[in-house]
Structure 1
């Protein structure tokens, strides 16, 4: 459903059933109906100190999507959250993704939605499909609709056709595919970018059968996904190779960037990744090279701003109904915002 805020400073407003409206506004309404908002579901499925790199992976992606405009209210972050305050951490309350320790990706404003033993297969599937328990806080809900583009990023330990959750359970590739199909049937997404950094990552998207999904995995079936480098002061590997090079690309992306998803899919060739990055795009209806990277990693705010005095009809799009308002002469501040 489209939600419209029309703020008008006027003395009167006469709503009429006139079906006349400008071609410009008609096209604007049509574009907005398709893709209206962006969400991110970022999940680290592992725990324990030696998996430090997985927390760094997911927090780095979290930092990137926030920088590019997706607000915390539209990001679901699921992590064990046991690294920043681990007694073995030489720098408490920090997580770094580079041996130079330039950026503390834990930061001061990380909002973890599911932490510790809340990071389960059941909670993950319920989150995606909208079948959460009554009374679940709004911050723990994926409130998407048919206009939502969703980035789903997963990191942890995987195998051929499964992804482990905290060394105690696993989700299979078929269960993942069925969850996405439920999302499609319930009109919970417009497009999905599925991104996974694990061993044998490509096996997790092989069974997908729902439309409008673009998928990338850090390794093919039978291959391991490798870590990038150790920070000797911390004593563990601190980031995985695929995510490291993905972040290197994202650091050069701005909210107004012209970079495409097609370019992003090539960020980690085998000579640097060691593993072979897998890509699946047969379910995706658009050419990735024509899709701005901000369609998944950024924020969508289609706004039509009109200033000055107008005496023409404008279009209001509300609850998928198009109608005209006889404007008369008054000022709009702003006249139309669709989000």
Structure 2
């Protein structure tokens, strides 16, 4: 059953059958880690992207014992899913959930386990999920696709966060231990360029694409009304994957895939990082090889994509507004109106809390407003930034559990980069956030 059929043939169906093929003949083996760092229904798109990435790798001959999948796994069987047991990444595509390994799910999806997987720490993961790890060696390539929310120098897991410098240190550790020949990362999150800036040498076999530059937000794609009232993909994810679907990975170069992703992800700036010479390798070097390929789902024009995109952090609100517009009963309308009001109130509360924290630290209202709007494109005060973010996360709002409280994080960075002491910032969060740390749903 295709998603498009449920939309009453809103868009033309195009078959996308695949045939599993043999392993790539590239030197060494290919290993992959696929991560969706979110857990809410409104974040459907990130699990859909990761499931689609799995289907590409599997169809290209990479065996399941070489692919580790980390996702909360509460989308396919979610009580509000109008297609139980199925996930779609395109209006004209097939179910991408079928056959996907559930190696690490729920709260097992965290930075600590992600690092253990990449280190090949099977002992450390004994009794956790599938226990599967990357057992790569000096001639092997590692492909990582990671999707979710981010801020400057941060990627959010469901209840925790991964810092750019920690990830960079891990990659350097793996390289020193001869864990890989080359590694490629596709990161689909807001501010994802800041996860790589000035952190990776250009001679260690590391290459990455970020969905955005250092400060930009990302956008959701294929956002529809009934019956799903949700977004099927992240625009960066569907852009690079639909291109891979349509091309022969043996002949398409990584730089060609980058150019396509950059063109189609038109609302944020897709960027390259690390050893850019790797762009001259074929896609097959990291995603496997297939001897033949079939027509992919329809590739949408820029105009069609524009009609279905939503800023990533606004997806929960837009979904509720669409449901309210289509609601029939007075009871349903009242419930949805109440949810919208509650969501807007939470956003106002976050802004108010942020203002109070900054004013307490800066001591000047005009300066506080400047610190809340300044665009900071570089992190130098890593220790202060870590302490400040941890304090807000522990004392105010759980950053890995919300889509809008993350707007406060650039302000915390501005305080640190302006020379304020982290102890003062930490104390301000304790004074202002007199309520228990809130686990937000949107």
TM range (shorter): 0.7 to 0.9
Per the TM alignment, residue 127 of structure 1 is displaced from its structure 2 partner at its CA by 1.3
Does the Cα contact within 8 Å between 1:270 and 1:276 map onto a contact in 2?
A: no
Does the Cα contact within 8 Å between 1:60 and 1:97 map onto a contact in 2?
A: yes
1:227 aligns to 2:220 (yes or no) = yes
Distance 1:247 1:141 in 2: 24
Q: TM-score of the superposition, structure 1-length normalised? A: 0.73
Does the Cα contact within 8 Å between 2:125 and 2:131 map onto a contact in 1?
A: no
SS of the aligned residue for 1:215 comes to: strand
Greater fraction of residues in helix: 2
Structure 1 equivalent of residue 162 of structure 2:
171
Higher RCO by CA contacts (8 Å cutoff, separation 6 or greater): 1
Q: TM-score of the superposition, structure 2-length normalised? A: 0.56
Per the TM alignment, residue 131 of structure 1 is displaced from its structure 2 partner at its CA by 3.2
1:125 aligns to 2:115 (yes or no) = yes
Distance 2:125 2:208 in 1: 33
CA deviation string 1:156-184 (max 9, x = no partner): 00000000110x21010000001111111
CA deviation string 1:122-174 (max 9, x = no partner): 101111123343573775111111111111111000000000110x2101000
Structure 1: tracts of 5 or more residues without a match: 1-31, 301-339
1:202 aligns to 2:193 (yes or no) = yes
Alignment of 1:228-243 (within 5 A): 228-232=221-225, 233-243=227-237
Change (3 A) 1:236 1:211: same
Structure 2: tracts of 5 or more residues without a match: 1-24, 291-442
2:255 to 234, 253, 262: 262
Structure 2 equivalent of residue 159 of structure 1:
151
Distance 1:35 1:271 in 2: 32
1:277 to 270, 283, 293: 270
Structure 2 equivalent of residue 297 of structure 1:
287
Structure 2 equivalent of residue 99 of structure 1:
91
Per the TM alignment, residue 270 of structure 1 is displaced from its structure 2 partner at its CA by 5.0
Does the Cα contact within 8 Å between 1:164 and 1:170 map onto a contact in 2?
A: yes
Does the Cα contact within 8 Å between 2:38 and 2:149 map onto a contact in 1?
A: yes
CA deviation string 1:194-234 (max 9, x = no partner): 11000011111222247101110000011011111213221
SS of the aligned residue for 2:70 comes to: strand
Per the TM alignment, residue 190 of structure 1 is displaced from its structure 2 partner at its CA by 0.5
Does the Cα contact within 8 Å between 1:35 and 1:190 map onto a contact in 2?
A: no
Does the Cα contact within 8 Å between 2:46 and 2:148 map onto a contact in 1?
A: yes
Structure 1 equivalent of residue 137 of structure 2:
145
The 4+ residue runs of structure 1 with deviation greater than 6 A are: none
Distance 2:264 2:255 in 1: 19
Distance 2:258 2:112 in 1: 30
CA RMSD of aligned residues (A): 2.0
Does the Cα contact within 8 Å between 2:239 and 2:264 map onto a contact in 1?
A: no
